[in-house]
Amino acid sequence: MHSPAEPELGHTRTRPVHWIATASAMAAVIAGAGLVQPATGVSAQPAEGPQAGAPDPAGITYPLDCKGAPQAVTATAQGDLDGDGRPETVAAVRCDAGSGTPPHAIYVLVQDRTAGARPRIVATLLEATRRQTATDLTVRDGAVTARLLGYSSPDVPRYSPDLNQLAKWRWSDGKFRQELTDSAARSV
């Protein structure tokens, strides 16, 4: 409340019109920010879709025993892994069982230069028999990385993996070598 000696100022009381004006101004600022692009001319979003010339993982029959269930490619990444200037495709594949958490296998595909040739598998980075699920599959700087989720024992429910490990594979000396976050290295 104001004293009789102080005049009542209109701007000291909020009215619905003030809130509407404030909300409109904030909406305009947010909308304007969405239209502004980086000054460098680089897209704010990463490129979508497969890299030009990379093998298409669709239509390949993978060496994965699904006992009659179809196969599902759940993630792909492309990049030049062996330094030959041509991109390879890395595909995370599992059986499409319809329920549960089927394990993944990770394959490296190449595209032969022969006209009409189909892509072919040249390496298996993760065998389905390891009973792990692959997520966050990427190819960057000539290396394949994936987050591998697994189970510490048969007693752990299959819907709740309790092991989480970042794995990296790099082409070296004519084969892919796996580097785990615990510094254990394996060759594929």
Q: What is the pLDDT of residues 70-84, one digit of tens each?
A: 999 999 999 999 999
What is the DSSP annotation of 133-188? EEEEEEEETTEEEEEEEE-SSTTS-TTS--EEEEEEEEEETTEEEEEETTS-EEE-
Q: Which residues pair with 27 in a beta bridge?
A: none
pTM, two decimals, is 0.69
Q: Which stretches of the chain drop beneath a pLDDT of 50?
A: 9, 27-48, 183-188
- The residue ranges of every structural domain in the chain are 71-187
